[in-house]
């Protein structure tokens, strides 16, 4: 049995030394030292030997077990080191090589204009207010002096989620929510997405962006509105910008007006860009209707205010001379890379 053990040891050490990979090492471990391995089978036969012989053979078997186990560990460590070296060589990075250029994006033209508008109005003491895009009929229409079935709703046909829940058709609900929560003085702008049931074409979209403004305080007049909007237009388009106000009608302001700017292309002479009029419509506004103030719990006999609203997308189109609204929403890199 001693000879059998010695022969087994030599065979095992030879096979371990030539094992090509970790899988072979594991197979040898199981084949020699596992529960059904060759060395284990020999040890099971020790019970039939004489006590003295059993003691001597048992000591030899344990020594051989330890020798084989140590050889397996050394070969495993050597194979793992080889694998690590090969992996490091395969994944080697030349840190001195130039990096791959990463194309950098830029701000969307709408975002650029919005940031500029925010800076202009923040500089005039306004703060920025926000509100939900899914609104109740009350905030979107009724609190703005447009009761159910009123003809004024026809020009703002929006998307109804249910009878009393809509996608907001303007950011005016933010003004109502602000006046309900905050006592005057109030000076805010409310930018955001709005929705109307419009066909998609070069100048219309069912989803677009607005910026509305609201000021409420004692002794606010139409001249305050005109001065604020004149200042805004000059800072956005240049100090030589010329504006004019035209009478108009909005259900939630009285009196109401629309503000035009002199065409920057023809300087009032008339051209294709301004459709021969010499002026380009910019925004609408007016004095907050006393009824709207009352609905929000503000005494119209003590306070007055003005409000205005503008289409941010069209402001961007005029600033960057973009002739098709759809370009702002199509995510065409050929267009966006210009900004």
Q: Is residue 290 part of a domain?
A: yes
Same domain (yes/no): 223, 134: yes
DSSP state of 99: P
Identify which has the larger pLDDT, 84 or 2: 84
55 pLDDT more than 80 = no
For 88-107, how does the pLDDT look when each residue is reduced to its tens digit (9 = 90+)? 888 888 888 888 888 888 88
What pLDDT sits at residue 273? 65
CATH code: domain of residue 275: 3.30.930.10
Same domain (yes/no): 38, 133: no
What pLDDT sits at residue 48? 64
116 pLDDT more than 90 = yes
C-alpha distances out from residue 139 to 17, 35, 78, 157, 174, Å: 83, 79, 75, 15, 8
* Residue 279 belongs to domain spanning: 109-336
Q: Is residue 175 part of a domain?
A: yes
Total domains in the chain come to: 2
Q: Is residue 102 part of a domain?
A: no
Same domain (yes/no): 213, 323: yes
What pLDDT sits at residue 1? 64
d(CA 228, CA 243) in angstroms, rounded, equals 12
What pLDDT sits at residue 59? 79
Same domain (yes/no): 12, 85: yes
For 257-266, how does the pLDDT look when each residue is reduced to its tens digit (9 = 90+)? 999 988 777 7
User: Do the beta carbons of residue 108 and residue 73 sit within 8 Å?
Assistant: no
Query: Strand 134-136 to strand 165-167: parallel, antiparallel, or no bridges (unpaired)?
Result: antiparallel
What pLDDT sits at residue 238? 85
Q: Is residue 155 part of a domain?
A: yes
DSSP string, 29-72: HHHHHSTTSHHHHHHGGGGGS-HHHHHHHHHHHHHHHHHHHHHH
Q: Is residue 104 part of a domain?
A: no
By 3-state DSSP, what share of the chain in percent is helix, strand and coil, each rounded to 5? Answer: 45, 20, 35
C-alpha distances out from residue 32 to 39, 71, 331, Å: 5, 12, 67
306: tokens are 């003005």
Same domain (yes/no): 192, 287: yes
d(CA 79, CA 19) in angstroms, rounded, equals 9
Task: Please report, to the nearest 10 degrees, the dihedral formed by the alpha carbons of residues 184, 188, 192, 198 taken in order.
Answer: 70
53 pLDDT more than 70 = no
Q: Is residue 228 part of a domain?
A: yes
Q: Given strand 134-136, what is the order of strands in its sheet? A: 134-136, 165-167, 160-162
Same domain (yes/no): 115, 42: no
Looking at the chain, the whole-number percentage of residues with pLDDT higher than 90 is 41
What pLDDT sits at residue 54? 66
User: Do the beta carbons of residue 190 and residue 171 sit within 8 Å?
Assistant: yes
Same domain (yes/no): 81, 129: no
User: Do the beta carbons of residue 19 and residue 25 sit within 8 Å?
Assistant: yes
Of the residues 62, 90, 118, the one at which a domain ends? 90
Same domain (yes/no): 157, 272: yes
Same domain (yes/no): 155, 245: yes
60 pLDDT more than 80 = no
d(CA 185, CA 307) in angstroms, rounded, equals 14
Torsion over CA: 167, 168, 174, 175 (sign): negative
Q: Is residue 200 part of a domain?
A: yes
Same domain (yes/no): 170, 295: yes
Mean pLDDT (the chain, rounded): 87
pTM greater than the 0.75 cutoff: no
Same domain (yes/no): 218, 259: yes
Looking at the chain, the whole-number percentage of residues with pLDDT higher than 70 is 93
For 149-196, how does the pLDDT look when each residue is reduced to its tens digit (9 = 90+)? 777 666 666 888 888 899 999 999 999 999 999 999 999 999 999 998
For 271-294, how does the pLDDT look when each residue is reduced to its tens digit (9 = 90+)? 776 778 888 888 999 999 999 999
What pLDDT sits at residue 187? 97
Same domain (yes/no): 148, 218: yes
How many beta carbons lie within 10 A of that of residue 245, not counting itself? 17
Q: Is residue 137 part of a domain?
A: yes
Tell me which range, 50-54, 157-161, 200-204, 285-289, is most confidently predicted by mean pLDDT. Answer: 285-289
C-alpha distances out from residue 113 to 57, 110, 339, Å: 92, 5, 11
For 27-47, how does the pLDDT look when each residue is reduced to its tens digit (9 = 90+)? 888 888 887 777 777 777 666
75 pLDDT more than 80 = yes
């Amino acid at each position: 049995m001693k000879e059998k053990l010695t022969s087994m040891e030599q065979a095992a050490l030879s096979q371990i030394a030539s094992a090509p990979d970790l899988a072979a090492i594991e197979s040898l471990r199981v084949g020699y030292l596992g529960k059904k391995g060759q060395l284990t089978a020999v040890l099971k036969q020790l019970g039939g030997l004489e006590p003295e012989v059993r003691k001597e053979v048992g000591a030899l078997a344990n020594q051989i077990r330890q020798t084989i186990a140590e050889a397996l560990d050394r070969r495993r460590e050597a194979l793992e080191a080889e694998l690590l070296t090969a992996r490091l060589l395969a994944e080697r990075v030349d840190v001195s090589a130039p990096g791959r250029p990463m194309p950098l994006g830029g701000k969307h033209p709408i975002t650029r204009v919005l940031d500029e508008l925010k800076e202009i109005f923040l500089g005039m003491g306004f703060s920025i207010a926000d509100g939900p895009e899914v609104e109740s009929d009350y905030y979107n229409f009724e609190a703005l002096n447009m009761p159910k079935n009123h003809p004024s709703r026809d020009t703002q046909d929006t998307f109804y989620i249910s009878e009393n829940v809509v996608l907001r058709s303007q950011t005016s609900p933010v003004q109502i929510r602000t006046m309900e929560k905050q006592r005057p003085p109030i000076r805010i702008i409310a930018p955001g997405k709005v929705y109307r049931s419009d066909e998609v074409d070069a100048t219309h979209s069912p989803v677009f962006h607005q910026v509305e403004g609201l000021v409420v305080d004692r002794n606010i007049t139409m001249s305050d509105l005109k001065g604020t909007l004149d200042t805004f237009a000059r800072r956005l388009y240049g100090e030589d910008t010329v504006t004019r106000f035209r009478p108009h009608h909005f259900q939630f302001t009285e009196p109401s007006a629309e503000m035009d700017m002199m065409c920057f292309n023809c300087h009032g002479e008339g051209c294709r860009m301004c459709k021969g009029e010499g002026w380009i419509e910019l925004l609408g506004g007016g004095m907050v209707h006393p009824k709207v103030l009352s609905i929000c719990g503000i005494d119209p006999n003590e306070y007055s205010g003005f409000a205005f609203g503008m289409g941010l997308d069209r402001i961007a189109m005029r600033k960057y001379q973009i002739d098709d609204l759809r370009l702002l929403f199509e995510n065409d890199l050929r267009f966006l890379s210009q900004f």
